[in-house]
Amino acid sequence: MKIVFATGNPHKLQEINEISNGSAVEFVLPNEGFNPEENGSTFEENSLIKAQEAFRVSTGMMCLADDSGLCVEALNGAPGLHSARYAGTQQEKIDKILSELAPHTNRKAKFICVMTLLDTDGEVLHVSKGECQGEIAKSQSGKNGFGYDPVFIVEGTNLTMADMSEDVKNKISHRAKALSDMLSFIETLK
Ligand code: ITT
């Protein structure tokens, strides 16, 4: 079964293809012209906006979107919905989070991922959500993964997500949890 994965982020596509490896689903990128305006006020709304934009350019295909972000407790949930636009380069985003958190002792944070699946008529079939708890490191560490992985220490470990192998991240991440629920739902469609 081919499903369009509504993203412009190649790291996400790579992760979801690794996580779903062995299932009957193959995720492919949307047709040309995919350019969602992520102006929703929740992860759920932005996930739906991306799924609908993928359906607009790949009409007749099932479409799955992932909207995700990092929420830091002491920063009132920031960067949250704005994780992708929090600062210029990824290094600048990491530097900004480390400096904004410097005066705080509470470093608790979580990654959130909300996935929305549309059927071949563009109607919502299922929404799933995954969270991964942790805290923000005092300095960055690790080379794997993407985004904020080098500053996110996974709860119960002393490793950042970027210190972990991709295999391990893809078992415990917010994306892995949301996708696992989604794949179980997709199984029921057969
Ligand atoms: P698409 O919208 O095209 O899917 P994007 O990167 O803009 O790609 P989001 O709007 O969902 O995706 O923004 C999510 C941002 O949150 C992403 O750019 C990263 O900075 C961060 N993020 C999400 N998942 C992450 C992960 O697993 N590890 C590290 N950072 C992550």
Give the CB-side neighbour count of residue 160, counting CA atoms within 13 A: 20
Residue whose Cα lies nearest atom 4 of ligand 1: it is: 7
Mutate to test the pocket of ligand 1, among 44, 49, 67, 83 (most ligand atoms within 8 A of CB): 83
Q: How many residues does the chain have?
A: 190
> 138-167, pLDDT tens digit by residue?
999 999 999 999 999 999 999 999 999 999
Confidence of residue 58 (pLDDT cuts 50, 70, 90): very high
> 174-190, pLDDT tens digit by residue?
999 999 999 999 999 97
- Ligand 1 pocket, Cβ-based, cut-off 6 angstroms: 7-9, 12, 38, 50, 66-70, 83-84, 111, 145-149, 161, 173, 175
The model carries a pTM of: 0.97
